[in-house]
Structure 1
Amino acid sequence: MSHWIAALPMYNVTPHHGALWRALLQDALEIFAQAGGPRDVAVLDAPGDDLLALWRRPDLLLSQTCGFPYRVLGLADAVQLLATPAFDAEGCEGAHYRSTLVVSAHAASQGAVTLADCRGLRAACNGRDSHSGMNALRHAVAPYAREGRFFSSVAWVGSHLNALRALGAGEADVAAIDCVTLAYVRDALPELLRDVRMIGATALAPGLPFVASRALPAGDATRLRDALDLACAADAARAKALRLRGFVRLASADYAAIQLCADEARALGYPELA
């Protein structure tokens, strides 16, 4: 294929984080090109709302997806797994991560200090196709649900930042926030956490994978993995700001843990976050 695209849409928590990720991507692409990879790569700064369509494109050279579409929604059939980032953030272990269970300060003051205490409260969730915001929370809640319900309502708010804003504004009571996102918020937007309290964490899961189209030849995939490693090591200050330790080579089978979360929730009679 003569023309490729690349985009990193997942951890652009602030414009500064977005700029750092784009710089890392550009460095990786330049290293990749110098090693013999294609130079005709369009970096998409605004990849659009239909990320599943983006990730399924046959000309996708590099992007980062969530483990839920990768494992549960069938994306693994269209892409090849390149690498998984390892972060220096509370809740991470190597290339694995958790979501932090958070409640509003008001809910905490009313006794919501464990997840079990959150029965009948209002949840805020970034999206139905998110492991960190939906699948991990569903898995954590499932043992406490009754007749398929636990919350009084679930609001789908579009992002983890919006979930935190909903808690702070008194529009919701509880959410699950990707621990890497939460670390970025602590670093750059601490005011969003002023009226939020942490009450626990979800199960450990493999982190958000970097992927490429299956049309990318195996040799190029290897060179691209190496380019990501070199780009990360090339700028220590950037890696520190991104809390990026490096990249780990996980196997596709490792992402079965995300499917298992969904399966265990369904087995407990809790197929939907509700």
Structure 2
Amino acid sequence: MGNIAWLGMYDHDTQHAANDRLWAALRDRLRDHGLPDVPEALTRGVSTAMVWSDPGLLFGMICTRPWACDHATLRLLGHPVYAGTDVPGEHRSLIVVRSDDPAQRLGDLCGRTAAINDAGSNTGMALLRDRIAPLAQGRPFFGAVVETGAHADSVRAVVDGHADVAAIDEVTFAAIARADPTVVGRLRVLDRSDPAATPAFVTAAPPAVATLLRTVLGQVIADPALAATRADLFLTGIVPPHPDLAARIAAQDAAAAAAGYPSVA
């Protein structure tokens, strides 16, 4: 595939133009530093599995769980900081139900249908699992679980009545709310997960290139000329990689397993 750049973690249709501008700013700075083979444009329309396994991934994003479990050879560049989050470099999942759902607490969802975007997702699966585990007492909690493929599709599944609950990361939720407030207006936030690291910026490139990428990322985050672009992406900063990221994911899984609830079910 050659060298690629990919920002598909937060690249809703209404954010394409902003991500294109963000990448152009990074691309031009990398070229100014003499880095060869910098992609002209972002890659779109390919699976995350292909992107994260591609040795030509010059610049990308990855959810922390698949990084820790399957792709830890990718070099972490930093965690983006997003507007509306509690802790820099971290975010939560919003556990949502339909606005007219009678549920008042998580326990009221026992036996109902949950939507998850992906079984390997931290925000869509694991953070929901972690909130449910103390209630499940080692037994199946949900009556059914449907896998939708994307947070936006999980939102639609709840709104359309194909599922009763979903965990949507708050950055995605904000993007959907801005793009389609009518859909979000049909939802209600029932609970919030514990905080977890935001998807990381990563590269498959050698250490020297990773160092350069961190430098230009810092420049782009600080550039006043890109303020509107960053606002379109809810991007307010960047923090260094969490040194214990893999251990945090492992601890999450160990706690869920100890509670007898290793996955949403």
State TM-score, norm by structure 2. 0.93
185, 193, 209: which one pairs with 1:220? 209
Summarize deviations over 1:90-133 as a string: whole Å, max 9, x none: x44100111011111232xx2x1211221111111111111000
CA distance in 2, matches of 1:129, 1:43: 28
Aligned to 1:138: 129
* More deviation, 33-42/243-252: 33-42
Alignment of 1:69-218 (within 5 A): 69-71=66-68, 73-76=69-72, 78-89=73-84, 91-107=85-101, 110=102, 112-213=103-204, 216-218=205-207
Aligned to 2:33: 35
Aligned pair count reads 262
The answer (yes or no) to whether the contact 1:98–1:204 under 8 Å persists in 2 is yes
Distance 1:193 1:248, change over 3 A: same
The answer (yes or no) to whether the contact 2:27–2:40 under 8 Å persists in 1 is no
The answer (yes or no) to whether the contact 1:122–1:153 under 8 Å persists in 2 is yes
State TM-score, norm by structure 1. 0.90
CA distance in 1, matches of 2:23, 2:254: 35
1:202 positional shift: 0.7
SS in 1 for 2:244: helix
Q: Does 1:11 align with 2:10?
A: yes
Match for 2:231: what amino acid? Answer: K
CA distance in 1, matches of 2:34, 2:87: 34
1:264 positional shift: 0.9
Structure 2 portions without partners, runs of 5+ = none
CA distance in 1, matches of 2:86, 2:232: 16
SS in 1 for 2:55: coil
CA distance in 2, matches of 1:271, 1:46: 33
Match for 2:74: what amino acid? Answer: V
Aligned to 1:262: 253
Structure 1 portions without partners, runs of 5+ = none
1:47 positional shift: 4.4
Q: CA RMSD in A?
A: 1.6
